[in-house]
Amino acid sequence: MAGLANAAGHADRHTPLKNYCTGLLLPGERKSVEPMAARLAPDNVRRAHQSLHHFVADAPWSDEEMLAQVRQEVLPSLRKHGPVVAWIVDDTGFPKQGKHAVGVARQYCGQVGKQDNCQAAVSLSVSTWNASLPIAWRLYLPEVWCEDAERRRQAGVPEEIAFQTKPEIAVEQIRQAVEQKVPVGVVLADAGYGNGTAFRTALTQLGLPYAVGIESSTTVWESGKQPLPAPPRKPGSRGLSPKRLQRSAHHQPRSVKELAHALPSAAWKEISWRQGSRETLRSRFAAVRVRPAHRDYQRTEPHPEEWLLIEWPKKEAEPSQYWLSTLPEKTSLKSLVKMAKHRWIIERDYEELKQELGLGHYEGRGWRGFHHHATLCSAAYGFLISERNRFPPSARVGHVGLSAPQPPPHFRPRGSPRSSRAA
C-alpha cells in the first residue's frame, strides 16, 4: 500500500485508497461503493460512503501512474517463477441498465453472449506461463457518444478523447507499454483484433512478434507463391494480355479455410498444450508458412512469410480456429500451439476480476470513476497474484482466512433486489 499511496498523490487520499482496496478484497457479493462502505464502517456508513465515492469518482489521481506502480510491485513476484512470455489484448463487457453511464450502448457483450446494453473496455495484460496482470484499461466510447457533446460533458469525458476502434485503442496501449519498457512478450489477441491488417502491421512496426486469431475467410498466399507484379500501364493499353490473365487466374490467394481443407492428412498432428481442470487439453493442429494477402496487390516485393496455425478437432466437420503468427520459422508446432492457446489466461483473469473483485460493479456514470475503479481492481488483483506466489500450488486464495465486519441489520444497497437471497 505504501507504493500505491505515493501514486495516489495527496496524503488525504491514502486512507480512502487503503479502504477501497480493502473493500475490493473482503468477502461480499457487491463491490460497489455503498455496500463496501457498509462492510468497512458499519457504524458510520454515510461518512465512509462519501470518502470512497470522492476518491474513486472525483479525485484527480493518475490511472497511468497507479498502474505503473502496481506493475512495479507485482511483476518481480511473477518473474520469480518464469519470464514474461506474452502481452494479451482483449476486451470485456459490463451489462448496464439505462443510457447515462459513460460509454453505455447496445453492443456485443461477451458476458451475456449477445448484443445488449453494456459498457466495454479494452485491456492489455502482461503474462508469464502461470499468471497475468492487467496493466492498462481503456473504455471503448461508441461513435454516438463521441458525437454527443452534452453526454460527454455530463460524463466528464476528456476533450482529447476521440472515437477509436478497439484495435486502435489496443495499439495505443501497446505503444505506451513499449515506451515504458515493460518486459516484452508475444502479443496475443482474438480474431476481433488479429483479423485487421492495420493491427498486425502496427505490431510488426513496433518490433513485436504476435500470435493472433483470424477468421476463416482471411486470404493468404501459400509459401513459394506471391502476387504477380502489375506491369506499368502504357498509354492506350487495355490491360493484361490474355496469356497473362490466364497465368494470374492460377496465381490467386485463397482463404485459410480452403487451404485447411486442401492439406494432406499427414499435415495434421495431435498436440496437447496444458493441463485442464479435469484432463490434459489436446486437439489436432497443422501449421504452414504463408503470406497474408493484403489488399495492396500492386507491390512488387513479396510479403514476409509467417505461420498459419489451424485447429481442426477430429470429431468436427470444419476447422475451429485459425491464427497468424510471426514467431520464428524454426518454431515447433507444439510451441506455436502452446503460445496461441495461452490467451485463455485472460478469460480466467476477467472471471476472477468480476466475480471476486467486483470489476463490473461500479455504479457511477463518469469517465474518471470507471477508470479509477478498474485501476484499483487491477491493484487488488495484483496483490492476490503476489500472495499466490508465496504459497504452494495447492493453496487457494479463498482459504487465507480473510474476514469482514458485518453490515448493520437490514442494510440493503440502493438498487438491489428485495429478495432475501439477493440481500
Span 383-415, pLDDT tens digits: 999 988 876 555 444 444 444 455 555 555 554
Cell of 70: 502496481
* Crossing angle between the packed helical segments 45-53 and 14-25, to the nearest 10 degrees: 100
Residue at 295: amino acid letter:
R
What pLDDT does residue 210 have? 98
**355, 44 Cβ separation under 8 angstroms:** no
Q: What is the DSSP string of 246-288?
A: HHHHTS--EEHHHHHHHS-GGG-EEEEEEE-SSSEEEEEEEEE
Of residues 57, 74, 89, the one with CA closest to residue 366:
57
Residue at 315: amino acid letter:
K
Q: pTM score, two decimals?
A: 0.86
Distance CA 271, CA 416 (A): 47
Distance CA 252, CA 328 (A): 26
**302, 289 Cβ separation under 8 angstroms:** no
Mean pLDDT for the stretch of residues 337-365: 95
**Pairing label, strands 210-214, 186-189:** parallel
Residue at 126: amino acid letter:
V
Q: Spell 268-282 as b/e; 16+ CB within 10 A means b.
A: beebebeeeeeeeee
Lowest-confidence region among 223-227, 277-281, 411-415 = 411-415
Between residues 233 and 61, the one the model is more confident about = 61
Distance CA 196, CA 204 (A): 13
In 142-279, the DSSP E strands lie at: 186-189, 210-214, 219-222, 254-255, 269-275
What pLDDT does residue 208 have? 98
Is the pLDDT score of 143 beyond 70?
A: yes
Is the pLDDT score of 240 beyond 60?
A: no
**167, 196 Cβ separation under 8 angstroms:** yes
Give the model confidence (pLDDT) of 25-45 as tens digits.
999 989 999 999 999 999 999
